[in-house]
Amino acid sequence: MATGQIPKERKQSRFELAAWSDWLLPKLTLIPSLIAVGVFIYGFLGWTIWLSFTNSTILPSNHFAGLIQYEAMFSLDTWHVSLLNLLIFGALYIGVSLGLGLLLAILLDQKIRAVGLLRTIYLYPMALSMVVTGVVWKWMLNPSMGVQHVVRSWGWGSFSFDWLIQPDMAIYAVAVAAVWQASGFVMTLFLAGLRNIDDSIIKAAQLDGASLPRAYLKIIIPSLQPVLFSAVALLVQLSIKSFALIMAMTGGGPGYSTWMPAIFMYEYGFNRGQIALGAAAASLMMLVIAVVILPMWISEFRQKRNARNG
Amino acid sequence: MSRTVSTVLLAVMASMASAAGVASAANSGGKSQIDALNWWTSGSEAKSMHVLKQMLADEGVEMNNDAVSGGGGANARTVLKSRIQSHRTPGMAQVMPPAIDQWCQTGLIGSLDKVAEAGNWDKKLAPRVAEGVKCDGKYAAVPFNIHRVNWLWVNKSLMREAGVDIPRSWPDFVDALKQLKQAGITPIAGGGNTWQVATEFDAVVATVGDAEFYRKALVELDQRALASDKMVKAFKRLRTLKQYTDPDAAGLSWNHNTGLVVRGEAAMQIMGDWAKGEIINDGKTPGKEIACVTMPGNDNAYIYNNDTFVAFKVDAKAKRRGQAVFANTVMSPKFQRRFNKAKGSIPVREKTSLKGFDQCAKKSAKLYQKAKKADALVPTMSQDQAEIGAVKGAIFDVIAKFYNTDKMSAEAAVEALASRVKQAEQMSSLSAG
């Protein structure tokens, strides 16, 4: 008895130590990244919001100034243009990329040959840096050396495609380039989603007399909702923070006609020495992202919980 | 922001600062050294800084050439701010005169007054230029050069072909534009981006009034001058220029446009004398095939741009000595000649020999002296020389809007100009108090 007692005790303490380290280790390993995230994301986020209520110019100041930066911002034509461009660009970028991506995914899912190759080709634009995309499209859409020039040199003298230099149209030219870059990526997301759908569901639907388009519309596309959610969440934040593409393609021009909130923020915060005004723009950008993403996130969360409970 | 977060933030900043302190203490063993923060990264500019580094080394000062590329200096300005925030203030930093004023108000600016007194800068700089490099009446920065902005670069053979004389006055200029267009030649290579349009606008403002009007409106921001009929006329003239500019040029860079003039695809360009570099690159001689003439109607005004490095307050004695040697060397005739020959500008130091400089530089120096006597030296708005970023940005926005909106009237532009400038001034003076 006595001899058996000691190993048992030791076993128990060892067990306790293991339980304790099981409890502690994950927390220990998480702490550095939690601190980093806390400081460099939430800390600076809070600091940015605070700065937007100060009178900071070339250096951060802690002098509270109320809402003057926001008032000034909404009195500026550059801000209104930036917001309007965000709406136009965002709607086109998200809408067309999703539509095109879904269409391409459905077409690729039709058991055709060389799917792997095609998928890679469509995905490639996403591998390019935004700056490269911007520069390439800048030359292609430049009227005196790009598409317009080439078509005219073929003999169609009146052909005109000069969106890039038209202040009202330049943002659409930017959207074209952005869609070109993103839709292949969205396609890959949808394709993965489609591959996860059990073939038997489609077969069952067809046995019940549903046509193929109807089966897609009523069964397959609705079951892609989680993929759709991820794609939208990605595209929304990409469109709100889009910067490099525009800088490379138009430099915000002609004039400031292709500015977006991120460019506004950079221009005022860094170039013009109006840190507080830039911070105000950054804070509003974050608010917009939160307004779009949070409800989606909450509904997703609720669905998951319901699924678990039900 | 919660207290814990700010404590953590402070702790991180403090540790960065002390680490930097240790590093700089380790560096300054005996020898004088100086950090020179700048945005000169292009070939000839970087070479010039290398010359300076060598000349300083001869004086026993080790210069760190902290060149930050990109954004027309925007990135360098950001680096400057973050270095100051983390207590790694560079001894010298490239800063434009209006920003010297702005930094002056922060109390972070050092002094070069002793060097300036010993070197007799009062006699060696034009009064208007000296004014720009002072903080509270004391020399705080050293000027490198003088660029002239209001040049018209003209392809002589194209003009001869079209039978058009090089214009001298504004009406002659408009006639020339018309004739060139009729001859099927693109009259002006320009537009491109707001910066290029603003460069044209600078010169155009000086055509409607003398240097005094330019100074009142774009330097002193006098509301009455900004909202005046003369300013309306200036905007109308800017639109005239646009009508003779190739619309397809939107989005193209200034050096591309200079290239068009050099290759004979356009007749003229309004641009500062840094265009000479492009002309030389294309194998032509400035002043020979491509004429450099005063912008028509600008006889009176010399719109200039000068690069300046400001001294920040530094504790170490060795660093202060570094600042003094830096300033002294930059102002020396030897460096002035070498640097300005490479950069395409003229020496800012009076009576520096121009032997070996090109025709346009010699012409520029003559016009500079003439303008100095007539008090017609005015700093350029378009190159950050007259206004701080906030105000310049506001002016740029109005110019961009007007240039790109054909239905916007000149009167509406002037109204917007006056009110936007006022707002930007108010916003930037808030933190000064």
B384 token code pair: 């950050």
**CB-CB neighbors (< 8 A) of B388 in chain A:** 273
Distance CA A44, CA A206 (A): 55
Residue A293 pLDDT: 78
Radius of gyration from C-alpha coordinates of chain B: 23
| 3 state DSSP class of B269 | strand
pLDDT digits (tens, 9 = 90+) for B319-376: 889 999 999 999 999 999 999 988 889 999 999 999 999 999 999 999 999 999 999 9
Q: How many residue pairs from chains A and B have C-beta atoms closer than 8 A?
A: 122
Q: Select the residue of A60, A256, A271 nearest B397 (Cβ to Cβ).
A: A256
B425 token code pair: 């001034």
* Nearest chain B alpha carbon to A38: B5
How much of chain B, in percent, has pLDDT values that exceed 70?
Answer: 92
pLDDT digits (tens, 9 = 90+) for B239-281: 999 999 988 877 788 888 999 999 999 999 999 999 998 898 8
Q: How far is A276 from chain B (nearest CA, A)?
A: 10
Alpha helices in chain A (DSSP H): 2-37, 44-51, 68-74, 77-108, 115-127, 130-141, 147-153, 170-195, 199-207, 212-215, 225-240, 244-249, 261-266, 275-309
B240 token code pair: 């005239």
Distance CA A288, CA B163 (A): 60
The owner of tokens 């280790």 is: A25
| pLDDT tens, per residue, chain B with 433 residues | 344 444 444 444 444 444 443 334 334 445 788 999 999 887 778 888 898 999 999 999 999 999 998 767 888 988 998 899 888 999 999 999 989 988 998 899 999 999 999 999 999 999 999 999 999 999 999 999 999 999 999 999 999 999 999 999 999 999 999 999 999 999 999 988 899 999 999 999 999 988 999 999 999 999 999 999 999 999 999 999 999 998 887 778 888 899 999 999 999 999 999 999 889 888 899 999 999 999 999 988 999 999 999 999 998 888 889 999 999 999 999 999 999 988 889 999 999 999 999 999 999 999 999 999 999 999 999 998 999 999 999 999 999 999 999 999 999 999 999 999 999 998 887 654 4
Q: Select the residue of B9, B252, B423 nearest A43 (Cβ to Cβ).
A: B9
CB contact under 8 A, B400 and A255: yes
ipTM above 0.90, yes or no: no
* Nearest chain A alpha carbon to B79: A270
Side-chain half-sphere exposure of A140, counting CA atoms within 13 A: 11
| 3 state DSSP class of A65 | coil
Residue B405 pLDDT: 93
Instruction: Let me know: does B18 contact B49? Beta carbons within 8 Å.
Output: no
pLDDT digits (tens, 9 = 90+) for A97-133: 999 999 999 888 887 788 888 888 888 888 888 899 9
| 3 state DSSP class of B347 | strand
**CB-CB neighbors (< 8 A) of B102 in chain A:** 57-58, 273
B186 touches chain A (CB under 8 A): no
CA angle B238, B240, B243 (to 5 degrees): 115
* Nearest chain A alpha carbon to B3: A43
**CB-CB neighbors (< 8 A) of A60 in chain B:** 85
Distance CA B138, CA B133 (A): 8
Burial class (CB in 10 A: 0-12, 13-18, 19+), B355: exposed
| 3 state DSSP class of B187 | strand
Q: What is the pTM of this model?
A: 0.85
